[in-house]
Amino acid sequence: MTLRAEIKKKLEKLVPKGAEFSVFRPERPEFGDYSSNVAMVSKGNPLEAAEEFKKKLEKSDLFEKVEVAGPGFLNFFISPEVFIKNVEKITEEKDGYGRNEILSNQKVIVEYTDPNPFKEFHIGHLMSNAIGESLARVFEASDAEIKRANYQGDVGLHVAKAVWGALKQNSSVDWGKAYVAGDRAYKEDESAKKDISAINKKVYERGDAEINKLYDEGKKISLEYFEKIYKRLGTKFDFYFFESEGGIRGKKIVEDGLKKSVFEESDGAVVFKGERAGLHTRVFLSSEGLPTYEAKELGLAPMKYEKYRYDLSYIITGNEIIDYFRVLMAAMKEMFPELAAKTHHVPHGMLRFASGKMSSRIGNIITAQALLDDVQERILKIMKKAKELSDKEMKEISDKVAVGAVKYSILRQSIGKDIIFDFKTSLSFEGDSGPYLQYTHARACSVVGKANSAGIKPSVSNPPDEVGNVERVLSAFPETVERAYADLSPSHVASYLIELAHAFNSFYAKERIADAGEKAPYRVALAKATAQVLENGLWLLGISAPKRM
């Protein structure tokens, strides 16, 4: 049980059942480790109620003291022994520290990334991957059984454009350039547009040998390319679903729904009238009888459930399709109400740049690989000052730091907001950045390593007279993980880790941690606990925690 939960449980015994109040960590230390407005929502005079609560609570071993402040707030100062015991708990539980059982016995499937074969893996896919992977880990830390899913658009107009562009190339196919050429031709050349539309139908029908060969080759190359990026990002999917499969299933579902009047015909197409749910009309089957994205997505829901009988399903996408998804969910509620109830759409913002341009582009698309390579190159220039690392170590670590820098920049913000990526701040080894957290973790590991070499073993048996800020922040990690789940926001973990890193680095600057002395074992235990919690928190963000930097 977290400290916040313990306090709330004690307060609940003092108020009528169902009374709503909050327990929170105040921003200023003079207001205690935790505060509550419980007296202000009680009957009678808040100050009198607060004084009464104080008398009953200050006898608890959990508190060093309880104070009444302002119009009736209760400020709680946790007993130092509680914080010291928690330091020992962290070193014992290791990567288990911070986990909870909120989703115990729940099966959760998380769908994210969703790149389209024949097109580039761009920074939008990078956004979805970072957020989806982190949420999957937050669910996992909440004791859920997790499956990761990836839904990829292997049919559709974008494929036809790429195949058309490939047919125009005389040498070996460059699929990135092929798509750009096809996309441009579709917009500017009416004859090419007709040819691409014909190819689109042939791809669905699988009746043209030349088209099939080119399609199969392009899809294979694309998927292999994506796997390299997933490995670099630290993601491994359990299930892969494709629009070609969803389209077949979705078309049948829509046709069945047409008979039930869930869908209706309109100008030769089949549509869902979203107006009856306060939304708008969308096409599910085109006038040519082809399933649209909406129909394919509708077909995906039962496909997922047949593969994995989930209790919860989360779908991570860009926020540009929020309205589309609302209509889809309205249609799903009518066709599969039980699956709709389990399904949650988590939209995210766009990734933009504070200044400057990326050097590697396909058309007007910034690729994920180009961004990561650019960041890694800049990190390498910074790390070359660390002469104790070999070239091989530097390359491996710089890649982990580059991925961490990009992921942290995405995850430090609320999911729905646009992300402004600034190279200067994102790559800094000081301040609010991924590299700063990784460097702090490496620093803590280094201190523990030096102490071990000097024969100093971590122990909390001889603590200082007063505990510091590090101990207080360490104790808040479990409730931070719970909050990240409750709000579906890894940003809480990111903010917490920065707070912990600041606290530890202040401690590091003031104390000679691994120096001999009677308090050295405790200081080392504190450094070890900090390294562990930083590692646990970075794992939740999908970021590596190198021991050397």
Residue 116 per-residue DSSP state: P
Task: Based on the fold, state whether residues 174 and 212 are members of the same structural domain.
Answer: yes
Place of tokens 């579709």: 186
56: CATH = 3.30.1360.70
Confidence at residue 41, expressed as pLDDT on a 0 to 100 scale: 86
The residues with which 35 forms a beta bridge, in sequence order, are 24, 75
* The one-letter amino acid at 364: N
pLDDT computed for residue 212 by the predictor: 95
What pLDDT is attached to residue 385? 72
Query: Amino acid identity of 382?
Result: I
- Identify whether 85 is part of a domain: no
CATH code of the domain covering residue 531: 1.10.730.10
- pLDDT of res. 511: 87
Kindly report the pTM of this predicted structure.
0.93
Q: Is position 91 within any domain?
A: no
For tokens 């582009």, the residue is 361
Stated length of the chain? 549
Examine residue 95 and state whether it is found in any structural domain, yes or no. no
User: Are 403 and 460 contained in the same domain?
Assistant: yes
The predicted structure's pLDDT at residue 357: 47
Question: Which burial class, exposed, middle or buried, applies to 224 when counting CB atoms under 10 A from its CB (0-12, 13-18, 19+)?
Answer: exposed
Decide which of 348, 374, 400 is a domain's last residue: 348
Selection from 61, 59, 67 nearest residue 79 by Cα = 61
User: d(Cα 458, Cα 488) in Å, to the nearest integer?
Assistant: 36
Inside any domain, residue 453: yes
Q: Say what the pLDDT of residue 363 is.
A: 52
**Assigned domain for 474 exists:** yes
Q: Are residues 129 and 247 in the same domain?
A: yes
Regions of the chain where pLDDT drops below 50:
356-362
In this structure, the answer to whether residues 280 and 377 fall within a common structural domain is no
Domain span including residue 21: 3-78
Q: Verify that 399 and 517 share a domain, yes or no.
A: yes
Q: In what side-by-side order are the strands of the sheet with 23-24?
A: 23-24, 34-36, 73-78, 63-69
The pLDDT value recorded for residue 360 is 40
Question: Do both 445 and 303 map to the same domain?
Answer: no
Do residues 70 and 121 both lie within one domain?
A: no
Residue pair 542/133 in contact (Cβ under 8 Å)? The answer is: yes
Is residue 51 domain-shared with residue 136, that is, in the same domain? no
Contact between 138 and 540 under an 8 Å Cβ cutoff? The reply is: yes
The last residue of one of the domains, among 317, 348, 379, is 348
Inside any domain, residue 100: no
Q: What is the CATH number of the domain that holds 127?
A: 3.40.50.620
Q: 75-100: per-residue pLDDT in tens? A: 999 999 999 999 999 999 999 999 99
Q: 434-453 and 520-540 are packed helices; what angle lies between their axes, rounded to 10 degrees?
A: 150
83 in any annotated domain: no
Tens of pLDDT, residue by residue over 102-144, are 999 999 999 999 999 999 899 999 999 999 999 999 999 999 9
Instruction: Looking at the structure, tell me whether residues 325 and 378 fall in a common domain.
Output: no
> Is residue 94 in a domain?
no
Last residue of a domain, one of 78, 95, 118: 78
Q: Which residue has the tokens 């890193």?
A: 501
The neighbouring-strand residues paired with 420 are: 352
Q: What is the pLDDT of residue 358?
A: 44
Residue 342 shares a structural domain with residue 386: no
Which pair of tokens denotes residue 117? Answer: 């074969």
Which H/E stretch holds residue 49? helix 46-57
343 lies in the same domain as 379: no
List, as one string, the DSSP characters of 297-329. HHHHHHHHHHHS--SEEEEEEEGGGHHHHHHHH
For the chain, the domain total comes to 3
Based on the fold, state whether residues 206 and 315 are members of the same structural domain.
yes
Q: Assign 3-class secondary structure to 232-247.
A: HHCCCCCEEEEHHHHH
Q: What is the DSSP letter of 174?
A: -
pLDDT at 100 (0 to 100): 97
